Structure 1
Amino acid sequence: MKMNNKFILALIIIIAVAAGLFWLLAAWRCQMPGGRTFIENIGNESEKSDLIKVSQPRPNQTIASPLVIKGEARGNWYFEASFPVELLDENNNLVATAIAQAQSDWMVEDFVPFIAELNFALPVGETGFLVLKKDNPSGLAEHADELRIPVKFKKPAETVAVNVYFSNNKLDPEIFCTKVFLVQRQVAKTQAPARAALAELLAGTTQAEKDQGFFTSINPGVKIQNLTIAGGIAKVDFDKQLEFQLGGSCRVSAIRAQITETLKQFPIVDNVIISIDGRTEDILQP
């Protein structure tokens, strides 16, 4: 009788392991024409599914800027209702960063929905990784965690050149606050090139640009809420992330210079009015 019980238990374990392996392979295998198969990398989505889930984008989805990221994560994935998001190229170089914001009370153990918007400049390669990091204010390795999602970059069929402006500690070693330098980017041809140029500015510097001394004073995760150009005046409204934790008059001046010069590259723009949530008077204070 005892032998039968042991045999049944062993059989159950074998079946459970086999079922798990079958499910894992099914998640990774994709059918090719002619009955051939290939193994598709889906990152570590399966092993993190009890902590964080992403509904948009899905693994190996082709993405373009701006990228809207949606999903849900357990309350302990957040700190102060947010957590960082990074986009890496195929060589794990940082392409862009953003902040995911909880859409409801985050101080719970259950899943809490989040949303983030990521502006980025297209890297050279065709693939990369979207990394959603557990917010870890302690900085301790044992508290760190992340979800990695492989993605593909959408290459536009037709592009146009736009200029964006950054500070540069090599071209301007004394760092004059309002002195910014041109970087040219290729964007998809559009009827709204000024907005496309601003989106490239908000995406920040690429690794190659950083190596050349370029840097941005603008916070990651800033969103354009509205942009109008009329009578030579560009009016651009940003969300509150633009003024989050600002410090120092020099940084404020650099932010204004970056935005203003990026918009004034267009002949129809003579002046720029910056607002945050519709406010113009009390914004970007040092």
Structure 2
Amino acid sequence: MKKTLPIIILLIIAAVIISLILMFTFQKTAIAPTNESQEATPEVDVTEPATGEEINDVNNDINDNPEVTSEVPAEETQTTPPAGTSTAQELADRIRLTTPTADQIVTSPLAITGSARGTWYFEASFPVKLYTSAGQIIAQGIAQAQSDWMTENFVPFKAELSFTAPTAGSGYLVLVKDNPSDMRQYDAALAVPVKFNNSASLKTVKIFFGNNVQNPGAEDCTLVYPVTRSIATTPAVGTAAIQELLTGPTEAEKSQGYFTSLNSGVVLQKLTIVDGIAKADFSKKLDEAVGGSCRVASIASQIRQTLLQFPSVKTVVISIDGRSEDILQP
């Protein structure tokens, strides 16, 4: 017993020393940061706007990491007009598009009207093209002058494009100055944004024209006949219907005997419908050189019947620049 006691004491002391060493080592390890924690990405305060350096870092991460994409969602994609084109404001003193208007939903056949200075034409015409937002040409044709083009004044034009539109999206209608020379400095083109849509967003309206097959010899000048047009659904359906009327009959409709008595280039300036009274105000082109009681009666009938199709309209008042008393005189 006396011999084993010192051994036991030594073992106890050794155990205590080992325990102290282990405790000291554990505490040191827990307190000291590891290399991995030192290299961790610091948190970003999302309430603060990113600095230029932070934005560059993000761009570098996108370029370096193939799993990160920089694609823009489709609804945020911005379309750009075809190269070499200008806006309506920039070319206002050279060409003016009446229909379609900017950002209008267009359908086929697309009637195009407006006026351009004689210098925009060559041999009384110029090209028109319809683009998708991707830059694909889906229709092209020729706009024809409606009067003598050998002038520096504005000359009305008409064109019609038939096309198969995308089910949705946007594009550009481009009216190109006809430049037969090789001097590119004389090139010019007007680009007007338009929209395409599917049939679910369209509404059918009637517009009224004369017809020399159904009313040969125009025995009754007030007789007009309906054709149907598809327009974009809009609360201003009366305005949309009159705009369609002002474009005139399509080539297919003309082949069936339809014609319009309205002058080319007439503009609807305002339309209000209050208490069953529709007041339609037009530009002075409406009664320009419309001598003859038969034509005057036909013009008034086309406008009235197009508006009277709507249940909210009981009476139609036609005016020019605000005047309704002394207009459309034979």
TM range (shorter): 0.5 to 0.7
Task: For residues 139-192 of structure 1, give each alpha carbon's deviation from its aligned partner in whole angstroms, at most 9, with x where no partner exists.
Answer: xxxxxxx97778886323411001100001112113221100000000010011
Task: For residues 52-72 of structure 1, give each alpha carbon's deviation from its aligned partner in whole angstroms, at most 9, with x where no partner exists.
Answer: 966989xxx98757989799x
Letter in 2 for 1:265: Q
Contact kept, 8 Å, 1:85 with 1:133, in 2: the verdict is: yes
2:175 maps to which of 119, 130, 135: 130
**Change over 3 Å in CA distance of 1:53–1:164 after alignment to 2:** closer
How do 1:120-159 and structure 2 match up within 5 A? 123-126=162-165, 130=175, 154-157=195-198, 158-159=201-202
Distance 1:53 1:226 in 2: 25
1:184 maps to which of 224, 228, 242: 228
Matched with 1:77 is 119
How do 1:61-210 and structure 2 match up within 5 A? 77=119, 90=139, 92=141, 123-126=162-165, 130=175, 154-157=195-198, 158-175=201-218, 176-210=220-254
**Change over 3 Å in CA distance of 1:209–1:177 after alignment to 2:** same
Distance 2:216 2:113 in 1: 37
Matched with 1:284 is 328
TM-score (normalised: structure 2): 0.50
Letter in 2 for 1:180: V
Q: Which runs of 5+ in 2 are unaligned?
A: 1-80, 87-92, 131-138, 166-171, 180-186
Q: CA deviation at 1:216?
A: 0.4
Helix, strand or coil at the partner of 1:246: coil
Q: Which runs of 5+ in 1 are unaligned?
A: 1-39, 46-51, 100-105, 135-145
Contact kept, 8 Å, 1:227 with 1:236, in 2: the verdict is: yes
Matched with 1:226 is 270
1:261 maps to 2:305: yes
Task: For residues 213-250 of structure 1, give each alpha carbon's deviation from its aligned partner in whole angstroms, at most 9, with x where no partner exists.
Answer: 11100011111111111111111110101111112111
How do 1:38-77 and structure 2 match up within 5 A? 77=119
Helix, strand or coil at the partner of 1:190: coil
Distance 2:258 2:236 in 1: 26
Displacement over 3 Å in runs of 4+: 40-45, 52-57, 61-71, 83-94, 96-99, 118-134, 146-154
Q: Which has the higher strand share?
A: 1
Contact kept, 8 Å, 1:68 with 1:115, in 2: the verdict is: no
Matched with 1:24 is none
Q: CA deviation at 1:98?
A: 7.7
Contact kept, 8 Å, 2:115 with 2:265, in 1: the verdict is: no
Distance 2:248 2:321 in 1: 21
Distance 2:247 2:287 in 1: 16
How do 1:232-251 and structure 2 match up within 5 A? 232-251=276-295
Larger mean CA deviation between 271-280 and 146-155 belongs to 146-155
Structure with max Cα Rg: 2
Helix, strand or coil at the partner of 2:271: strand
Distance 1:214 1:276 in 2: 25
Matched with 1:270 is 314
TM-score (normalised: structure 1): 0.56
**Change over 3 Å in CA distance of 1:199–1:97 after alignment to 2:** farther
**Change over 3 Å in CA distance of 1:166–1:67 after alignment to 2:** closer
Identity %: 38
Contact kept, 8 Å, 2:221 with 2:297, in 1: the verdict is: yes
**Change over 3 Å in CA distance of 1:209–1:42 after alignment to 2:** farther
Helix, strand or coil at the partner of 2:252: helix
Distance 1:206 1:270 in 2: 29
Q: Aligned pair count?
A: 209
Q: CA deviation at 1:123?
A: 3.6
